[in-house]
Amino acid sequence: MTPSAPGSLVARAHPFTSLTVTLAVVVLAFLLPASIGPVVLALLAIAVAAVVGDPASLTPSLIIVVPLWLLLLLVQGVLGDAPFTTWGPLTLSIGGLDEALAQGARLTAIVVASMLALRGFRASRFVDAAAERRWPFSAAYLVAATLQTIPRLRQRVTLIRDAQRSRGLRVQGSIVQRVTALVPLTLPLILGALADTDDRAVALEGRAIAAVTAPGARRTPLAPPVDTVVDRVVRWGSVLAVAVAIIWRITR
Amino acid sequence: MTVRFDGVSFSYPGTDAPALRDLSCVFVAGQVTWLFGKLGAGSSTALLVAGGLAPILTGGRRTGSVRIGELDPGDVANRAALAGRIGYVSAQPHLQLSGLAETVFDEVAFAPANLGWERGRIGTAVLHALARVGAGHLVDRVPTELSGGELQRVVLAAMLVLAPKVWLLDEPASALDPAARAGAYALFREEARRGAAVVIATEDADGVLEVADRIIVLERGQVAVDGVPAEVLGSDACWALGVGSTTVGALWRAAAERVPAMADDGVPLTLEAAAAKVMQA
């Protein structure tokens, strides 16, 4: 995955801010009243990404959500109950379309926010931020390693695909050919990921990891990110928004 | 710190065949010890066991005693005490990256940061270590975008920065060009002079012959020969084991099969020794 530009807002933000906002968007997408709530949330996420965040993150987000939107509109619109409306040659359920709008908006908000956070994520900054807050290193490493899983798998997929193609595997063509090619692609991917875990453990052991995982030990943050007032306001604002939404859901 | 093996046997999980069998030897502080043997002889496993990586991370079963100083590296309780004292370098440098660093500086600083060093000390030590391996110019590069040779130097710097008491090196110069390889071996020599126990497992007989103080030839997980490299490698007993020799040594022996008199006064192992012998003749 291509990281966002170093100067972009999401790359400059404190790592805890972008992760908090993303988690808040995921929760709010399901708490806010459908379909207006998720739609506003999705538009807000797109606006942030386009205007002040990382506009390039919208392309991979669209690649993910556009097929899902089409699928939702088709399934919900065709299979939904009366009343119906007519769109050209199609007769679609109004209730189904409304449901598709809510679900599509939820997915869009979550995907756009996650993509923005993932592209802006820097493992070293996150680990430094965690060390600054005296988080246990193992917890920080777990989060950092998890968020790096997708880019690592993408790199590995490219290597495996190239290696298998050089052995004559055809990864393009008909649907049958593509499905057939999945097995020789996914099996090395899974086995390689497992082996990677072992190798990583040996690498970390040789790099004094035992010192920092001992009780009371603290890793030196090399370049701790600055936690600005804006960062803190955005984080607490996100938490507040989730809290208000939860209270609204309980009391309505 | 001296590393001591007493009657050590080790088997990897899922196999009954031991990789090490009743192995007893000492890697002395201040010396460069060269582990040599055919593939599967147990050199790499001996390094893993010496560093406690086997069996703690690899699994498997170890018997016998291994000591680094007074500590057993295979005991989980000693991991923190030994952290930063052992410099382990594998044959595949790309597998030794932390996965958390965006720059070479951060990569080399990873272990000192884990040890809680003060930031100023880390900066000085990292730049010094990179300069010693000839990688100072790589300081701002992205580790995953380096070539094999550059990466191997960075991994060496990542260990060198800790000034380890014990170096466990598994083919540490395999990706380096001849000049960089010579530099790496000179570095290991310097580290032994500093007082570290340096153990190198390598097939690179040409490179390590003049650096090593001692050679231990392993066969099927046991010590077959232990002695001074030039004497051991030039001996018929070592040649008979089939472990090979230096390029010049192997060439001389091939020639001696046709002209037996060539091997009368021993087999030269270096170009200089061979030239001198030819001149004498």
Q: What is the pLDDT of residue A3?
A: 60
**How many angstroms from the chain centroid is the CA of residue A138?**
22
Query: Using the beta-carbon criterion (under 8 Å), do B101 and A124 form an inter-chain contact?
Result: yes
Beta-strand ranges (E) seen in chain A are 84-87, 90-93
Per residue in A2-28, pLDDT (tens digit) is 566 556 777 788 999 999 999 999 999
Say which of B79, B90, B101 has its CB closest to residue A210.
Answer: B79
Nearest-angstrom CA–CA distance, B128 and B134: 10
What would the mean pLDDT of A164-185 be, rounded to a whole number? 80
Nearest-angstrom CA–CA distance, A100 and A238: 26
Q: What is the pLDDT of residue A193?
A: 78
Helices and strands: H and E segment counts in chain B:
12, 9
User: Mind telling me how many Å the CA of B158 is from chain A's nearest CA?
Assistant: 8
Query: Using the beta-carbon criterion (under 8 Å), do B111 and A207 form an inter-chain contact?
Result: yes
Q: Is A1 exposed, middle or buried (0-12, 13-18, 19+ CB in 10 A)?
A: middle
The answer to whether the predicted template modeling score (pTM) of the entire model surpasses 0.90 is no
Query: Using the beta-carbon criterion (under 8 Å), do B162 and A220 form an inter-chain contact?
Result: no
Q: ∠B201-B207-B212 over CA atoms, to 5°?
A: 60
What is the phi/psi pair of residue A160, to 5°?
-65, -45
Query: Using the beta-carbon criterion (under 8 Å), do B116 and A124 form an inter-chain contact?
Result: no
Q: Give the largest CA-CA distance in chain B.
A: 64
- A206 CB-side CA count, 13 A: 34
Q: Does A199 touch chain B (CB under 8 A)?
A: yes
C-alpha distances (whole Å) from A46 to each of A110, A229, B204 are: 10, 24, 58
ipTM of the assembly? Answer: 0.78
Q: What is the pLDDT of residue B196?
A: 96
Assign B226 to helix, strand or coil: strand
Query: Using the beta-carbon criterion (under 8 Å), do B114 and A144 form an inter-chain contact?
Result: no
Q: Reply yes or no on whether the pLDDT at A1 is more than 60.
A: no
Contact by Cβ (8 Å): A82, A93: yes
Q: Reply yes or no on whether the pLDDT at A212 is more than 90.
A: no
> Under an 8 Å CB criterion, which residues of B touch A?
51-53, 56-58, 79-80, 82-84, 86-90, 92, 95-102, 106, 109-119, 122, 158-159, 162
Starting from the edge strand earliest in sequence, which strands make up the sheet with B61-68, in order? B20-27, B3-11, B61-68
Taking the CB of residue A91, how many other CB atoms lie within 10 A of it? 11
Q: Which chain A residues are closer than 8 Å to B112 by Cβ?
A: 208, 220
Nearest-angstrom CA–CA distance, A131 and A217: 10
Q: Which chain B residues are closer than 8 Å to A144 by Cβ?
A: 100
Quick one: chain A helix, strand, coil %, rounded to 5? 75, 5, 25
Query: Using the beta-carbon criterion (under 8 Å), do A219 and B56 form an inter-chain contact?
Result: no
In 3D space, the residue among B16, B40, B4 whose CA is nearest the CA of residue B218 turns out to be B40
Which tokens belong to B1? 């710190």
Query: Using the beta-carbon criterion (under 8 Å), do B83 and A144 form an inter-chain contact?
Result: no
Q: Does A136 touch chain B (CB under 8 A)?
A: no
3-state secondary structure B248-277: HHHHHHHHHHHCHHHHCCCCCCCHHHHHHH
User: Mind telling me how many Å the CA of A162 is from chain B's nearest CA?
Assistant: 18
Per residue in A28-52, pLDDT (tens digit) is 999 999 889 999 999 999 999 988 7
Query: Using the beta-carbon criterion (under 8 Å), do A219 and B83 form an inter-chain contact?
Result: no
Query: Using the beta-carbon criterion (under 8 Å), do B95 and A203 form an inter-chain contact?
Result: yes
* Residue A4 DSSP one-character state: P
Q: What is the pLDDT of residue B43?
A: 93
Query: Using the beta-carbon criterion (under 8 Å), do B122 and A212 form an inter-chain contact?
Result: no
Share of chain A above pLDDT 70, in %: 97
Q: Does A209 touch chain B (CB under 8 A)?
A: yes
Nearest-angstrom CA–CA distance, B216 and A125: 45
Phi-psi category of A88—alpha, beta or left, where left has phi over 0 and alpha has psi -120 to 50?
left
Print burial letters for B203-212: b (CB count within 10 Å at least 16), e (below 16).
Answer: bbbbbbbebb
Print burial letters for B5-20: b (CB count within 10 Å at least 16), e (below 16).
Answer: beebbbbbeeeeebbb
The ranges of chain B with pLDDT < 70 are none
* Residue B71 DSSP one-character state: B
Nearest-angstrom CA–CA distance, B131 and B118: 20
Strands B32-37 and B214-219: parallel
Which helix (H) or strand (E) covers residue B167, if one does? Answer: strand B166-170
Query: Using the beta-carbon criterion (under 8 Å), do A220 and B117 form an inter-chain contact?
Result: yes
Nearest-angstrom CA–CA distance, B243 and A112: 59
DSSP string, A27-55: HHHHHSPTTHHHHHHHHHHHHIIIIIS-G
Residue type, B245: S
Q: What is the pLDDT of residue A6?
A: 59
DSSP string, B122-139: HHHHHHHHHHHTT-GGGT
Alpha helices (H) in B91-177, listed in sequence order: 104-114, 119-132, 148-160
* Interface probe, candidates B75, B76, B97, B98, chain A, greatest A C-beta count within 10 A: B98
Say which of A145, A206, A222 has its CB closest to residue B106.
Answer: A222
The chain-wide mean pLDDT, for chain A, equals 86
Per residue in A100-144, pLDDT (tens digit) is 999 999 999 999 999 998 888 888 899 999 999 988 888 888 888
